[in-house]
Amino acid sequence: MAKLLLIEDDVKIAAAVRRGLEAERFSVETALNGTDGLWRAMEGTYDALIIDLMLPGINGFRICRDLREAGDWTPILVLTAKDGEFDQTEALDTGADDFLTKPFSFPVLVARIRALLRRSAISAEPPLMAGDLRLDSEQRRVWRGTDEIELTARQFDVLEFLFRRAGRVLSKKEIMDGVWDYDFVGDPNIVEVYIRRLRTRIDVPYGRHAIETVRGVGYRLDVGGG
């Protein structure tokens, strides 16, 4: 059963769309503002996102952009009352995969979601590899050799960010900007906390050193897996 996230601030529309999609055998979660929607999209795992453009907190354009800049390529269908060509262009340029204008035909909405899911299945990227360390972005799973390693959502995001830049030295700020929300106001040293936790999961039990510390600069994922 495909899992969808619907980000829509109109309570009645959100409820109606959710009921309809669930009747079509989709699993649906909803967020009623952009801030909550972006958080859910980054923290959770979904097969597709349905995002309104005009949202309180954070608008749909920024949600699309932030997800893509974070390396999240979950299919996105923009659902909105704004039908100008410039809005469509901006939505697609910031990362949306498809565009549907309100009022819409529900069968067309379902057909477009299914089309997005089919394209996503066909174009699914192969797992990322670093020696015997393997990361599957689509399924959000990690292995060391034949052992599957369980990670929290944020630990996975940090590791994927390092994987996609394997061999490069990344500062704490680069990692924070790439993984955490722009409005995050916590301690930058939280990056060190997550690096330490990752090492206890993917390196220490196997006597490896995949995540290297470059003193005074940052961290690097060894392309050979340590």
- The DSSP result for 120-175, as a single string, is HHHTPPPPEEETTEEEETTTTEEEETTEEE---HHHHHHHHHHHTTTTS-B-HHHH
pLDDT band at 73 (very low <50, low <70, confident <90, very high): confident
Q: What are phi and psi of 133, to 5 degrees?
A: -95, 125
pTM over 0.75: no
pLDDT digits (tens, 9 = 90+) for 21-66: 999 999 999 999 999 999 999 988 888 999 998 899 999 999 999 9
What's the average model confidence in pLDDT over 3-19? Answer: 94
Calculate the CA 188 to chain-centre distance: 21
- Residue ranges of domains in the chain, CATH in brackets: 3-122 (3.40.50.2300), 128-221 (1.10.10.10)
Question: 73 versus 210: which is more confidently predicted?
Answer: 210
Going across the sheet that includes 128-130, the strands are 128-130, 133-136, 141-144, 147-149
Contact 64, 51 (CB under 8 A): yes
34-38, 98-102, 178-182 — most confident range? 34-38
